[in-house]
Structure 1
Amino acid sequence: MVALSCLMYTGYQMSIGHLAEVGPVFVAGMVLLSIAFRGFAPVKGLAFTVFILGVTVTSLYYPGLFLEINGFELATLITPLIQLIMFGTGCSMGVKDFIALSKSPKSVIVGVIAQYTVMPVMSFVLANVLGFPSEIAAGLILLGCASTSVTASLFSFLAKANVALAITITSITTLMAPLLIPFLMKLFAGGYIEIDVLGMLWSMMKMVLLPIGAGLLFNKLTSGKAKWLQDAMPYVSMVGIILINAIIIASGRESILTIGLRLLVAVLLLLISGFIFGYWIGRLLGLDEKDCRTIAITTGMQNAGMVSGIAKVMGKVGTLGLASAICGPLMGLPASMLASYWGSSAQEKTPDEP
């Protein structure tokens, strides 16, 4: 009730033009709402998304909190945070993550190809149609060229889809990202900004492949016994994603206030197009319903954190990283709705139904 009261008060104040004065109330309302969602099963999956939205609002109202502390630029933390998240990904990976490759290779191949064709093309189309400034447009295309989000397996589970397939597609697209993203960016974004293919390739090797390799090696040396680390890494990743989003939003605040709504619409359309095309490509190629749903989710969900890291390495976090910063808090909304719909429809079917 307190959260709803805060948000209702915020809405009223905004309606009469008092946008600047309601910042603290708005932030408090979002944080309290995320806490409330944690205790309510039907919307528990949205709690993290709502909390990210709360932090996003905070970074818009108080950007100074996320730009520097005692002269230390917080943007410096973005690359190490991405490397830490990738290390955690490597620690949790093993032969089991590629089990779907042997059981349903066609579905894996379709999912990987869909990820690196549908999303880059759609992001290029949206960037051109909506006419963004060059670096903002390139950032949207970079988001479209990214690998599958590491949270795709969670939403596949909620959707009663093929979790093993989601894990395999996520693992393969992540490992392929350093090799494919530089060339896709040269192809689709070369007209917007200068792309150093080899430089980006090396940067992504250091940011993605080396930490994943270190994680795999750690997992091998400990024989998978460091369960405490595997349990802790999802929480570390969530904190890292929240901080990365806040830093980028704060860095690009002026650009967001100028073109934020247009970019939000573009990112939302990109995500939805991924869900739609991913699903129907699977259907047209004769995959079963669970695999089609899985490919829809893996195609539509982008690794926004990786994109943020690339933007930081390129020195354009306040422009090139804006699409990914918006994607971070936004992506969970359509994904949760889709997963909830598919999950509930699967429960309604009887055992005799297909």
Structure 2
Amino acid sequence: MPIDDVVLSFTPASLMLLNAVLAFIILGIALEVRPADFRAVARSPKAVLLGICAQYLVLPAVTVGLALVLRVPASIALGMILVACCPPGGISNVLTHRAHGNVALSASMTAVSNLVAIAVMPLNVALWARLNPATAGLMRNFSLDRWEMLVQVLLIIGVPFAVGMPLARRFPAVTDILRPWVQRIGLVALLVFIVAGTASNLGPLREHLGTIFLVVLLHDAVALAVGYWTAAAVRLDEPSRRAFTFEVGARNTGLGLGLTLTFFAGLGGMAMVAAWWGIWDILAGLLLAAWWRRRDARRGTAAAAGSAGSAGSAGPAGNRGTGR
């Protein structure tokens, strides 16, 4: 069966569960955010604004071009675009820390990008999907209500931020204890959902798994490269380049999966791209971070020291890690 004709089957209860898991994951990010992250943006906005442009303009544009070059089926191309339009996941902070990157910059970009996504993401998906004839035709099969998607994203991202940030500010000691557990539980719950959902729908998808794997591998590598070379193009230091790499390369694909199931009727190609991205970008990010650490050790340098020094460009957020 062509993958554009495959539709994944999920019950309304499972969709509600997924949305709850996604909100829980965002809560883990919100508990990590401090007012200093936003003050840092106000003091030195150029790096963060550049990161936002890389995430919401450069990556989607490159993704449209990549899908055209690869000539992938329309549903896979639309899944790639949806993933590219997602905000960064909190795992980006963990990967940046492990790679001796600028964690302060990473934390600021994650916070701002997720808030920007509330308004930008629904418009971005509709805009970039129209630039590929195949995805534009596929979009006509769905009545995508951008306002309804805006409300969905607002509930999943906005509400957890509205709850998590005041809690972190008022009860810092308690949230420091709770935060790692919220992040770990959310990540594990999402992975379990992805694995269980894929297993229950494996039959019609089996023949397409190789294609999905290769497309996600290439797309993720391109996203990581877009982040690094965008920062390099404006001559940011190495720790900041590593932060950009993971802020652009590590997307909150759980959100993309939830939107696929809600607004695109569980379209198989889209759902599988988002689901596999959610697993692969963690593995690829860990491998890249480990490679950077080994390279630093061989060179006898401590890029982590540069992280602390360059934090002044993004504010004193400190070395904080989060889950996806």
TM-score, normalised via structure 1 length: 0.73
Partner of residue 344, structure 1: 294
Q: In the aligned structure 2, how far is the partner of 1:281 from the partner of 1:150?
A: 20
For 2:73 and 2:16, the matched residues in 1 are separated by: 25
Residue 136 (structure 1) aligned with residue 136 (structure 2): no
Contact 2:56 2:85 in 1 (8 A): yes
- Deviations for 1:3-41, whole angstroms, at most 9, x for unmatched residues? xxxxxxxxxxxxxxxxxxxxxxxxxxxxxxxxxxxxxxx
- Tell me, yes or no, if structure 1 residue 161 matches structure 2 residue 101: yes
Q: Which of 93, 98, 109 does residue 49 from structure 2 map onto?
A: 109
Once the two structures are overlaid, the 10-residue window that deviates more, 135-144 or 217-226, is 217-226
How far apart are residue 231 of structure 1 and its match? 2.9
Take 1:259 and 1:150, find their aligned partners in 2: how far apart are those partners?
29
Residue 199 (str. 1) matches residue 148 (str. 2): yes
Query: 1:36 is matched with which residue?
Result: none
Indicate conservation of the 8 Å contact 2:75/2:267, yes or no.
no
- Distance in 1 between the 2:301 and 2:295 partners? 13
> What is the match of residue 214 of structure 2?
265
Cα distance in 1, alignment partners of residues 161 and 200 from structure 2: 28
CA distance in 2, matches of 1:327, 1:310: 15
Once the two structures are superposed, the pairs formed by residues 173-188 of structure 1 within 5 Å of their partners are: 173-188=113-128
Q: Which residue of 2 aligns with 1:323?
A: 273
* Residue in 1 that maps onto 2:65: 125
**Alpha-carbon offset, residue 169 of structure 1:** 0.9
Runs of at least 5 residues in structure 1 that lack an aligned partner in the other structure: 1-65
2: CA distance, partners of 1:148 / 1:265 = 22
Residues 75 and 247 in structure 1, CA contact (< 8 A), matched pair in contact too: no
Aligned to 2:181: 232
Task: Give CA deviations for 1:41-71 in whole Å, capped at 9, x if unaligned.
Answer: xxxxxxxxxxxxxxxxxxxxxxxxx967xxx
Within-5 A mapping of 1:241-256? 241-250=190-199, 252-256=201-205
Could you tell me how far apart the structure 2 residues matched to 1:331 and 1:184 are?
22
In structure 2, give the amino acid aligned to 1:242.
L
Tell me how large the CA RMSD over aligned residues is: 2.6
1:148 pairs, out of 73, 88, 108, with 88
**Counterpart secondary structure, 1:114:** helix
Deviating more after overlay: 73-82 vs 159-168 = 73-82
Aligned partners of 2:302, 2:80: CA distance in 1, in Å?
Answer: 44
Change (3 A) 1:247 1:73: farther
Deviation of 1:214 after TM superposition, in Å, equals 1.7
Deviations 1:287-309 (A, max 9, x none): 11211121112111111111122
Does the aligned pair in 1 maintain the 2:60–2:84 contact within 8 Å?
yes
8 A contact 2:25–2:187 mirrored in 1 = no
C-alpha contact 2:103 2:243 (8 A) present in aligned 1: yes
Structure 1 residues 204-233: Cα deviation after superposition (integer angstroms, max 9, x where no partner):
111211222122233344355343321311
The equivalent residue for 1:31 is none
Counterpart contact for 1:271–1:331, Cα < 8 Å: yes
CA contact (8 A) 1:267 1:323 kept: yes
Correspondent of 1:334 among 264, 284, 298: 284
Per-residue deviation, residues 249-295 of structure 1 (Å, max 9, x unmatched): 23542453132211221111111112212212211212112111211
- Residue 82 (structure 1) aligned with residue 22 (structure 2): yes
Is the 8 Å Cα contact of residues 74 and 247 (structure 1) preserved in structure 2? no
Specify which of 227, 231, 234 is matched with residue 278 of structure 1: 227
Tell me what 2:34 maps to: 94
1:296 matched to which residue of 2?
245
Deviates more, 1:260-269 or 1:124-133: 124-133
C-alpha contact (below 8 Å) 1:85/1:237 kept by paired residues: yes
- Unaligned runs of at least 5 residues, structure 2: 1-8, 131-135, 307-324
Structure 1 83/122 Cα, relative in aligned 2: closer, same or farther at 3 Å?
A: same
SS of equivalent residue, structure 1 residue 127 = helix
**Does 2:174 correspond to 1:214?**
no
Aligned amino acid, residue 107 of structure 2: I
Amino acid at match of 2:69: V
Pick closer, same or farther for the CA change 1:137–1:352 going to 2, 3 Å: closer
Relative contact order: is structure 1 or structure 2 higher (C-alpha 8 Å, sep ≥ 6)? 2
In 2, distance between residues paired with 1:141 and 1:187?
A: 10
Does 126-135 or 89-98 show the bigger shift?
126-135
